[in-house]
Structure 1
Amino acid sequence: MYEKDDKEKLYVVYLKAVIRGIVLSIILLLIASLIFFFSSLNQEYMKTVVWVITILSICYASIYGALKIGSKGYMHGAFIGGIYIILMAVIALLAEKGNLNMRAYIIMFVMSLVIGALAGMIGIVIGSKD
C-alpha cells in the first residue's frame, strides 16, 4: 500500500493539516470573541459560532490534507477530522479540569468524521482540476 517513506509523509501531512486547522480555529475564535465583545450580540449565539468555526476548520484541514496526499480523500479527510476533534477534546479536558460533556464530544466526533470525509473528497476534486 504505502512505503515507509510514504507513511512518514502521511504523518507529516496529517500533522500539518491538523495544526493548520487549529490555527484557523484560534484566529476565527479571536475574531468572533472581539465581535461579541464590541457589539451587542447575544452571547447565546456563541455556541453556534463555535460549531461553525469547528466545521470550517475541519473542512480546511481535510481539504489541505487531501490535496497534499492526492488519493483516498474521504479516508484521509475523515482521519484528519477525527484527529482534530480528539485533540480539541483533550485540550478541553485539560482546560476544564475533568468536566467534559462526553455526549457532545461523541456527536462532534461523528460530525468531524463525516465533514472530514466530505471535505477530503472536495480536496481530491480540487486537486484533480490542476
Structure 2
Amino acid sequence: MEKNNSYLPAAEGVLRGFIITVVLLLIFAVIMTFIDVSESVSSMFYLITTLLSIMYGAIYAVRKIKRRGWFIGILVTLLYLSILYIVSVISGNSAVIGTDRMLRFFLAVFVGALSGIIGINL
C-alpha cells in the first residue's frame, strides 16, 4: 500500500462539511418560514448541523488519507471551526468566546476525533 503524505483530503473534508452545513441550513430556513421556531430549537439545530458536518468531513478525509484517524478528525474540526468563526466575526456576530461556545468547541473536537477513529476503521 502506497503512503499518502498529502493532507489535501482534510481540506476537501472541510469543504464537504460546509456543503452539508449549507444544505441543512437552507432546509431549516425553509422550515422556519412556515413554522415559528424557538431560540432553543434553533440553537440545538445549529449544534447538530455543525456536529454532523464535522463527522462527515472527518470521515471523508480519514478514508482518503487512510491513517492517523484521530489526528485528521481533529484537524478537520479545527479548520472547520476556524473558518466558521472567521465568517461569523466578519458577518458582525460577537467575537466573545463564553463557556457555552467553549463547551461546543470541546464537543466538536471530541466528535471530530471520534469520527476520525471511526473513519479509519470503516
Fold shared by both chains (TM-score > 0.5): yes
Q: Which residue of 2 aligns with 1:102?
A: 97
Alignment deviations for residues 79-123 of structure 1 (CA, whole Å, 9 cap, x no partner): 1111111110011010016x2231244333322211100000110
1:1-130 mapped onto 2 (5 Å cutoff): 6=5, 9-10=6-7, 12-96=8-92, 99-103=94-98, 104-126=100-122
Distance 1:17 1:47 in 2: 24
Give the unaligned 5+ runs of structure 1.
none
Give the unaligned 5+ runs of structure 2.
none
State the SS of the aligned residue for 1:102: coil
Distance 1:63 1:112 in 2: 14
Cα contact 1:86–1:109 (8 A) shared by 2: no
Structure 1 stretch displaced more, 62-71 or 37-46:
37-46
Cα contact 1:67–1:124 (8 A) shared by 2: yes
- TM-score, with structure 2 as normaliser: 0.88
Kindly report the root-mean-square deviation, in angstroms, between the aligned alpha carbons of the 2 structures.
Answer: 1.8
Q: Which amino acid aligns with 1:79?
A: L
Q: Which amino acid aligns with 1:34?
A: V
Q: Which has the higher contact order (CA 8 A, sep 6+)?
A: 2
Distance 1:68 1:124 in 2: 9
Alignment deviations for residues 16-47 of structure 1 (CA, whole Å, 9 cap, x no partner): 11000011101001101111211244344111
Structure 1 stretches of 4+ moved >6 Å: none
Higher helix fraction (1 or 2):
1
State the SS of the aligned residue for 1:101: coil
Q: Which amino acid aligns with 1:119?
A: S
- TM-score, with structure 1 as normaliser: 0.83
Q: Which amino acid aligns with 2:41?
A: Y
Structure 1 stretch displaced more, 87-96 or 36-45:
36-45
Cα contact 1:36–1:43 (8 A) shared by 2: no
